[in-house]
């Protein structure tokens, strides 16, 4: 069943099944990896995950929830690390499945790393007032916008860098292009700032996590389509390189 739905190069999220520390329940970190080789229907090699460009030496015999980003959707299973080694300058883990592979409906959206130029501004008081009062609202077009760059995008929101100062919880208006198939489409969306931080490697910039605000279903589906198209292109390039 594994080889029927999972291919070499598919991305993986790994999260430890050990959810207790010092007698308290914790939420383990999620690590990113990818499939290197399918050894059998219950064994596979994956890339050892990185954290801030450093290898994460996950211990042998530890158990993890694995979420696969397959060509036909998301799949989930539990697996145990049985070995780790270096081969052809690639650090790998051998994973043994300890549960069946099943289709997975994820509540969160996959975030795709990118570098997309955007325009952004805070909403004016006149724009915010009807939104807060749950009344029909209208966005004023033609107002001055500031530059930013999207560093990852998902069906739920974006992470972006900008020199502008926005407060957590504030509403913003942003515009950015996406190439979907043969069509280049401009998206103009509202968003709510979830978090702000100063990145160490980009002085003068602030990094924001933004959640889409009242995004219509069609626009969300188009964004997700763009992400999966770009992900397929990336996997194809990896296989050819």
Q: What is the pLDDT of residues 133-145, one digit of tens each?
A: 878 888 998 999 9
Instruction: In the chain, list all ranges with CATH 2.30.110.10.
Output: 2-103
Indicate if the alpha-carbon torsion angle 124, 127, 130, 132 is positive or negative.
negative
- In order of 57, 83, 143, the CA distances from 60 in angstroms are 9, 6, 57
Instruction: In the chain, list all ranges with CATH 2.40.10.220.
Output: 112-233
Residues pairing with 152 in the sheet: 113, 159
**Which of 47, 50, 46, 44 lies closest to 31 in space, CA to CA?**
50
Q: What is the pTM of this model?
A: 0.59
- CATH topology for 112-233 is Thrombin, subunit H (2.40.10)
Q: Three-class SS of residue 5?
A: helix
Answer for the pair 26, 18: CB distance below 8 angstroms, yes or no.
Answer: no
| pLDDT score recorded for residue 91 | 94
Q: pLDDT tens for residues 66-111?
A: 999 887 778 889 999 999 999 888 999 999 999 988 887 655 567 8
d(CA 92, CA 145): 46
For residues 150-164, give the mean pLDDT: 94
201 pLDDT tier (thresholds 50, 70, 90): confident
Task: Return all residues near 100 (Cβ < 8 A) that are at least 6 apart.
Answer: 1, 77
| pLDDT score recorded for residue 112 | 86
The CATH number that domain 2-103 falls under is 2.30.110.10
Q: What is the DSSP letter of 108?
A: S
Q: What is the DSSP letter of 230?
A: H
């Amino acid at each position: 069943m594994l080889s029927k739905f999972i291919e070499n190069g598919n991305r993986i999220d790994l999260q430890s099944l050990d959810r207790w520390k010092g007698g308290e329940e914790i939420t383990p970190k999620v690590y990113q990896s990818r499939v290197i080789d399918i050894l059998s229907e219950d064994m596979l090699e994956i890339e050892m995950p990185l954290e801030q460009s450093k290898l994460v030496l996950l211990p042998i015999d530890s158990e993890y929830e694995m979420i696969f980003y397959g060509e036909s959707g998301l799949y989930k299973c539990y697996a145990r690390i049985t070995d780790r080694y270096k081969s052809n300058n690639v650090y790998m883990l051998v994973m043994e499945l300890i549960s069946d592979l099943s289709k997975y409906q994820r509540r969160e959206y996959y975030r795709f790393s990118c570098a997309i130029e955007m325009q952004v501004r805070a909403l004016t008081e006149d724009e915010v007032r009807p939104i807060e009062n749950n009344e029909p609202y209208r966005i004023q077009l033609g107002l001055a916008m500031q530059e930013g760059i999207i560093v990852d995008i998902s069906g739920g929101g974006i992470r972006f860098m900008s020199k502008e100062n926005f407060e957590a919880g504030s509403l913003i208006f942003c515009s950015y292009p996406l190439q979907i198939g043969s069509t280049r489409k401009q998206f103009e969306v509202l968003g709510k700032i979830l978090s702000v931080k100063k990145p160490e490697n980009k002085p003068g910039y602030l990094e924001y996590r933004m959640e889409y605000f009242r995004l219509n279903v069609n626009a969300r589906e188009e964004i997700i389509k763009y992400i999966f198209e770009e992900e397929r292109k990336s996997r194809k390039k990896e296989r050819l390189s």
